[in-house]
Amino acid sequence: MVKKKTQSAFFCQSCGTQSPKWLGKCPQCNEWNTFIEEIISKESDVKGGFKTSKINKPTLISEIDYSNEDRIITNDKELNRVLGGGIVPGSLILLGGDPGIGKSTLLLQFALSSKNNKILYVSGEESEGQIKMRAERINKNSEHCYILTETSTQNVFQQIEQLQPDILVIDSIQTLHTAHIDSSPGSVSQIRECTAELIKYAKETGTTVFLIGHINKDGAIAGPKILEHMVDTVLQFEGDRNYVYRILRTIKNRFGSASELGVYEMNQEGLREVNNPSEILISERDEATSGVGIAATIEGARPILVEIQSLVSSAVYGNPQRSATGFDTKRMNMLLAVLEKRCGFKLGAKDVFLNITGGIKIADTAIDLAVVCSILSSEQDVALDTLTCFAGEIGLSGEIRAVNRIESRITEAEKLGYQQIIISKYNKFSPKGFTIKIVQCGKIEEVFKLLF
């Protein structure tokens, strides 16, 4: 009997579930219409790939050696921070982000800045010449960085065997294909298989592997969700392409906090680390203008001061317009309703526009107080003091509620030279010699009396 060599199966594009038949609804993740046929070959005689020889034995947990000094500290402080204090050898790091956001630039820059580790940068998207051009542009050169343009995992592993790099960068996982499976690069089964081979390689040799992943239109990493489960760390590179600032965010990290944040600025010579984000998010002003409020917020684990601008004007048409950039419009409407109902401000017939400068989005509710004060400032056309900032959440009855990690917010405000911070009177904190004036208020009216 002749064995059938190629076989096809249906894969859910959302979670990677395999089925012999087409299904309308995935039984695993309940998504509709996600099954696509892919060719797989079961009996494969392809040689190559990563060969396993080691057999692991059970070890007493108390006898396992472990030391934190093993982490590779890179020259990029923001990257170290996001990874939880450097790279853990043998880990798999997935970097996702919109096209053109700077994923390749970030990792090439990292590869070129390495002083003692041998790095292999595998690109399936650009030619050697193009990569060199980019390297010249970011003005770095390195004796430790090797470039390989290749899309077959078998060939990559062959080169790795000779080169023995300390760190491997794959740009991108969607262009890679393994000969063990017949389906096209970028398909669910290819991504899963290639990642599995790379994991095996990383864990056994202790080599760190960076994978660049494309994201789909919903912002999730293209390919099955399973990819995110397989790797140790998932990073997301985001930002508005019209602005120069980029945020590197941890979504998952087996070796550190998952709420870390790194900030970069994209300029002519590649990405520049921004070690003090508050400075760039607050525009330089010579004189105070109405409608501007400064909020002490926490993004991830990092305190940042952001500037909120609002414009309140009489509505020209029947329906007043409300629009917010970088802030939830629904929450802004709620805050406007609180001002109207609880504090007696007539904002119902006014257009309200709100903008958080720098093109970043803030979800922290502690910026409520700054939002409200900036709206009132524009309404009254009275500028707020430029050296005052705010941290407080607004409740539905107009009360100012306590926010978390108030000490870090105060410290950051103090560090940046602010002279006064207005917070909730319910916030408890240890007064450990702050020089900044801390004003505690319980209601919006109290803040209003204080400011205007």
Binding footprint of ligand TYD on the chain (CB under 6 A): 97, 99-105, 134, 137-138, 266, 268-270
Q: Which is nearer to Mg ion, 104 or 378 (CB)?
A: 104
Contact partner, 100, from ligand TYD, Mg ion, none, Cβ < 5-8 Å per class: ligand TYD
Q: Which is nearer to ligand TYD, 14 or 104 (CB)?
A: 104
Instruction: Give the list of residues 6+ apart from residue 285 with CB closer than 8 angstroms, or none.
Output: 292, 386
Contact partner, 97, from Mg ion, ligand TYD, none, Cβ < 5-8 Å per class: ligand TYD
Residues in the chain: 452
Site for Mg ion contains 104 (CB under 5 A): yes
Q: How far is the CB of 166 from ligand TYD (least distance, A)?
A: 22
Let me know: does 248 contact 98? Beta carbons within 8 Å: no
What is the per-residue DSSP string for 313-364? EE-SSSSPPEEEESS-HHHHHHHHHHHHHHH----TTEEEEEEEGGG-----
What is the per-residue DSSP string for 47-96? --SPPP--------GGG----GGGSBPPS-HHHHHHTTSSBPTT-EEEEE
Residue 285's nearest CA partner among 387, 138, 370 is: 387
Dist. CA 287–CA 97, nearest whole Å: 38
Sheet holding 145-149, edge to edge: 145-149, 119-123, 167-171, 208-214, 92-97, 233-239, 245-253, 261-267, 270-273
Q: How far is the CB of 416 from ligand TYD (least distance, A)?
A: 28
How do strand 119-123 and strand 145-149 relate by DSSP bridges?
parallel
**Residue given tokens 């917020």 in the structure block:** 297
Site for Mg ion contains 174 (CB under 5 A): no
Site for Mg ion contains 14 (CB under 5 A): no
Q: Which is nearer to ligand TYD, 134 or 200 (CB)?
A: 134
Contact partner, 266, from Mg ion, ligand TYD, none, Cβ < 5-8 Å per class: ligand TYD
Contact partner, 138, from ligand TYD, Mg ion, none, Cβ < 5-8 Å per class: ligand TYD
| Residue 192 token pair | 């899963």
Dist. CA 35–CA 29, nearest whole Å: 12
Q: Which is nearer to Mg ion, 104 or 388 (CB)?
A: 104
**Amino acid in position 362:** I
Contact partner, 405, from Mg ion, ligand TYD, none, Cβ < 5-8 Å per class: none
Instruction: Give the list of residues 6+ apart from residue 162 with CB closer than 8 angstroms, or none.
Output: none
Q: How far is the CB of 249 from Mg ion (least distance, A)?
A: 18
Q: How far is the CB of 212 from ligand TYD (least distance, A)?
A: 7
Element holding 375 (H helix, E strand): helix 368-380
Contact partner, 410, from Mg ion, ligand TYD, none, Cβ < 5-8 Å per class: none
Q: How far is the CB of 197 from Mg ion (least distance, A)?
A: 22
232: helix, coil or strand?
A: coil
Contact partner, 270, from ligand TYD, Mg ion, none, Cβ < 5-8 Å per class: ligand TYD
- Give how many residues touch Mg ion by CB under 5 A: 1
Q: Which is nearer to Mg ion, 248 or 391 (CB)?
A: 248
Q: Which is nearer to ligand TYD, 105 or 424 (CB)?
A: 105
Q: How far is the CB of 76 from ligand TYD (least distance, A)?
A: 15
Q: How far is the CB of 126 from ligand TYD (least distance, A)?
A: 8
67: helix, coil or strand?
A: coil
Q: How far is the CB of 355 from ligand TYD (least distance, A)?
A: 24
Binding residues for Mg ion (CB under 5 A): 104
